[in-house]
Structure 1
Amino acid sequence: MFKPVNDDAIGFLEIDEDITLRRMVLRNAKAKGTVLFLHGFPETLYAWKDIASALTDDYEVHAFDWPGYGLSSRPATDRFSYAPRDYARVLDRYIAKSGIDTSKLTIYATDIGALPALLLAVEKPDVARTIVVGDFAPFNRPEVMYPSLQSLKAGPTMDQVRASLNSNRDEILANTFTRGLPKEAHFGIAPEFKDDMAQGWTQGAMTAADAFSHYYAHFTRDQDYFESRLTRLETPVKVVWGEKDLYINKEMGAEFAERLHVELTVLPGIGHFPHLQNPGLAVDEVRAAFHRGEIA
């Protein structure tokens, strides 16, 4: 199903004076549309390589490392806050700088990548033809989140959790993707992907865990902002959720889909990282999104 992605497809794009993004672009002169994949914590663009290779015969495919991850820039927090709203601006600039035709764009976003995409869509309904999101927290509902994530959002435990994340890189990269799943459902990730996350964990004075913590420091504010403007969201959205998601319970996905009056697909036996546990499901969702959008 999957073909190797040539490393020539990976390069860098400067989007402003503070941020240069590492990105992957698979081009197709006869593309039916464009797909943009947005990763979560602790991932990098390498999460999407197999999925991208399966789609490149029909579509142009883009992915990038968020600031603070992989080999993208990590400005000091007095220049960039790493908040969801700042990530939304990064996404907006990336789309513009890349010259993507948004009328033929599907955004597939998970975990920390999803709220920025939706925040941007609230302000720019034509940012994409379709947005597929899942396994994230659109609203401030700590009770459906994993305890350590709750603790990152507020209170005196924030610094403790951040320190714990920073001191446990190897354990996080070894176990985050299958945590909470029964042993028979465990899956491996490509050594190339794991090595890329490890090598990109620390760049300069900031780690991926630091960037994640900064994101969460502003998370409640931006969740509340998004919920207060939910009725302004006009871009077509599809919600996909892992039934066994340990980090953000599927109840969150059900509430979000119900509030938006959109389709929800709950994936049986799948955890927080559907695109890694069963990449074919992500491929199928992207193709279905284009069919729903009548892009041919």
Structure 2
Amino acid sequence: MTALLEKGSTVGAIAAPPTIFYRSEIIDGVKIFYREAGPSDAPVVLLLHGFPTSSHMFRNLMPLLADRYRVIAPDYPGYGGSDAPDHATFAYGFAHVTDLVDALLARIGATEYTMYVMDYGAPIGYRLALKHPERVTGLIVQNGNAYEEGLQQFWDPIKAYWADGSPQNRAALEHLVTLELTRFQYTDGVADTSRISPDNWIIDQALLDRPGNRDIQLDMLHDYGTNVPLYPQFQAFFRDRKPPTLIVWGKNDVIFPEVGAHPYLRDLPDAELHILDTGHFALEDKLDEMAPLIHDFLDRTLWQ
């Protein structure tokens, strides 16, 4: 070993990885967990996760952005490390979640942010944008919908539940919180599933299987219907504010299929669109392609 060091090996040249901090704040009596990395005075990149996961989905991306950016990834109530109050006493809905995320950002001093939105993170991020359009410095959109064209066959039983929240229609969606469906979300449409860590569905399912969490998820699925009437307002935000936008979309996703990606260009004609040969959780399969695209986009749009 001494000889190797004396020859001037690259040991001393390896850059230290950034530190990821695991923090929480009490917002309106609810513990909101979040991951944070990067310089405290750097431009903020806000990472908004999808269903049924948490900020865990960004664990590999965060270190790759934290060299130049303050990266913040919160868990919504009922997800990850955040509190999961009983659904009988806590309103699980997108407006409420957005308000809590907004309050968290105010608490920790994130007054401007480029948002990475995915799945549930898209309507939460776009609701934030409607509240504070001046705070949004850019968008990174990954399999997150804002157009009715994107709600295809997969959504038919969910639309029935929106129209009639009967016990029968609610029960018909219980398969969406099973291990089979959780694993499917990570592996479907992926050419080489050996690239996908089983930790993903093991961790997600363990959290889904907590007492009471199934009802939380079914409440959120029902409330997702409140986002659709806001699509015209989301689209007006795109047209009026024209935030720099990068779209990186897994084309094999049956939940948010590729057809939902292209309408963004109607309202954001200068958006950069990259269609990737992968599925729903594209970061698990295509991080090596996505991270350079994202970092380059941020470097070009946030450092002018």
> Same fold per TM (> 0.5)?
yes
Match of 2:232 among 227, 233, 245: 227
Gaps of 5+ in 1: none
Residue 238 (structure 1) aligned with residue 243 (structure 2): no
Structure with the greater alpha carbon radius of gyration: 2
TM-score by length of 1: 0.83
SS at match of 2:72: strand
Deviation string 1:102-123 (CA, Å, 9 cap, x unpaired) is 1xx2211100111111121122
Instruction: Name which structure has the greater RCO, CA cutoff 8 Å, separation 6+.
Output: 1
TM-score by length of 2: 0.81
Could you say which residue in structure 2 is the equivalent of 1:211?
A: 216
Residue 146 (structure 1) aligned with residue 154 (structure 2): yes
Could you say which residue in structure 2 is the equivalent of 1:97?
A: 107
Match of 1:37 among 33, 42, 47: 47
Match of 2:129 among 115, 121, 124: 121
In the TM superposition, residue 286 of structure 1 has moved relative to its aligned partner by 2.9
Over 3 Å counting, the alpha-carbon distance change for 1:211 and 1:268 in structure 2 is same
Over 3 Å counting, the alpha-carbon distance change for 1:67 and 1:264 in structure 2 is same
Over 3 Å counting, the alpha-carbon distance change for 1:202 and 1:189 in structure 2 is same
In the TM superposition, residue 40 of structure 1 has moved relative to its aligned partner by 0.6
Could you say which residue in structure 2 is the equivalent of 1:108?
A: 116
Could you say which residue in structure 2 is the equivalent of 1:253?
A: 261
Aligned residues: 285
Contact conserved, 2:87 with 2:212, CA < 8 A, in 1? no
Gaps of 5+ in 2: 1-13
Contact conserved, 2:249 with 2:275, CA < 8 A, in 1? yes
* Superposition RMSD in Å: 2.9
In the TM superposition, residue 46 of structure 1 has moved relative to its aligned partner by 1.4
Contact conserved, 1:81 with 1:215, CA < 8 A, in 2? no
Could you say which residue in structure 2 is the equivalent of 1:295?
A: 303
Q: 2 CA distance for matches of 1:287 and 1:112?
A: 23
In the TM superposition, residue 195 of structure 1 has moved relative to its aligned partner by 4.1
SS at match of 1:130: strand
Q: 1 CA distance for matches of 2:15 and 2:287?
A: 10
Deviation string 1:49-86 (CA, Å, 9 cap, x unpaired) is 11111122222221121111112122344554332222
Q: 2 CA distance for matches of 1:140 and 1:198?
A: 29
Please list, as runs of the form range in 1=range in 2, the aligned pairs for 1:1-296 lying within 5 A after superposition: 9-17=21-29, 19-28=30-39, 32-77=42-87, 79-102=89-112, 105-141=113-149, 144-147=152-155, 149-155=158-164, 158-166=169-177, 168=178, 170-179=179-188, 181=189, 184-207=191-214, 210-228=215-233, 230-233=235-238, 234=241, 236=243, 237-295=245-303
Deviation string 1:202-248 (CA, Å, 9 cap, x unpaired) is 444223xx333222212233221232463244261433322222112
